[in-house]
Structure 1
Amino acid sequence: MSDDIEDMGPVDYLVVEFPGNRMTGEAFPLLVDLVDQGIIHILDLRFVMKDADGTVTALELTDLDGDENSFGLSVFEGASSEMLDQEDLEEAGNALQPGNAAAILVYENRWAAPFARALRRSGAQMVASGRIPVQALLASLDAEEDAAEGGRPS
């Protein structure tokens, strides 16, 4: 198993909130495409819902609103490494607004595996990681543009 881990790319997670517990399924075929292309490998995909009283409940694919097959969710059955436990689901649920559902995705970045292996072989190790939300990038660009316009004569 440790040899497999040495060959892995970086592993990330994300929690995607669906307001009002409404999932259209539009993104799921794109997720399948990322897997089919070998860009990512899904390690875990779980769903939770936060009730009005704040209770977080794990959902099964069959519990989701709408026809399971219309979302194409059946391809995700069994996509669980069991790395996410109840505490993880509750922590993810804390980020949700009451009445909303979320998908929690843990995935390996297979596209980065050769790079990560080379770094490990050279003795390097990741000491920090992060993600910049698109909204933060847009706000930064808007602020920069506003500052540039403020410096120009009219």
Structure 2
Amino acid sequence: MNDTDFDELGPIDYLVVEFPADRKPDGSALPHLIDLVERGIIRVLDLVFVRKESDGSLAGIAVEDVGFEGRVDVTLFAEAATGLIDRTDLEEAASVLEPGCSGAILVYENCWAAPFASALRREGAQLVASGRIPVQGILAALDALDAATG
């Protein structure tokens, strides 16, 4: 990647998703992810599937071997491997997954924000804080507000 590519790069995010130990992922969320990619909203940089064993060890799972039900085209995800996820990242993911659960680690570029981020960089601005409010937190706050006004 050269400097010109970096100039047009959007913010990079990651997430770790845990799947219940008693259920295999069925792939029902993947079409939504594919849609985001096809519409140019995000670009999947890395997608790694793992399983946390009962002894706490972490084992990688090839996307083709996850065992999604139905007709899910995993080609896009099998090719998503930039190498941004390293052993340290896998160990951090292992620390948040429950034993017996499988998980997915996704690193993606927010393509929708690339023009905005690029313009800010040209102005000399830099991102100094970032965060995410979990949906559960929003719902709890709305419930509390409703109870207080109800």
- Classify the TM-score, shorter chain: over 0.9
Instruction: Report the AA paired with residue 75 of structure 2.
Output: S
The alignment's TM-score, normalised by the length of structure 2, stands at 0.92
Partner of 1:129: 130
- Which residue is equivalent to 2:27? 25
Deviation at 1:87, TM superposition (A): 1.7
Residue matched to 1:110: 111
Per-residue deviation, 1:66: 4.4
Could you say which structure has the higher helix fraction? 1
Q: In structure 1, what is the Cα distance between the partners aligned to 2:76 and 2:46?
A: 13
- The letter of the residue matching 2:83 is E
- Structure 1 stretches lacking a partner, 5+ long: 150-154
Match of 1:152 in 2: none
| 2:102 corresponds to | 101
Whole-angstrom CA distance in 1 between matches of 2:127 and 2:60: 32
The letter for the 2-side match of 1:59 is: I
- Aligned to 1:103, the other structure's residue is in SS state strand
User: Which ranges of structure 2 fall in alignment gaps of 5 or more residues?
Assistant: none
Query: Match of 2:145?
Result: 144
One-letter identity of the residue aligned with 1:11: I
Query: Within 5 Å, which residues of 2 pair with 1:42-121?
Result: 42-66=44-68, 70-121=71-122
| Count of residues in correspondence between the two structures | 148
Overall identity of the aligned pairs, in %? 51
Q: CA RMSD in A?
A: 1.4
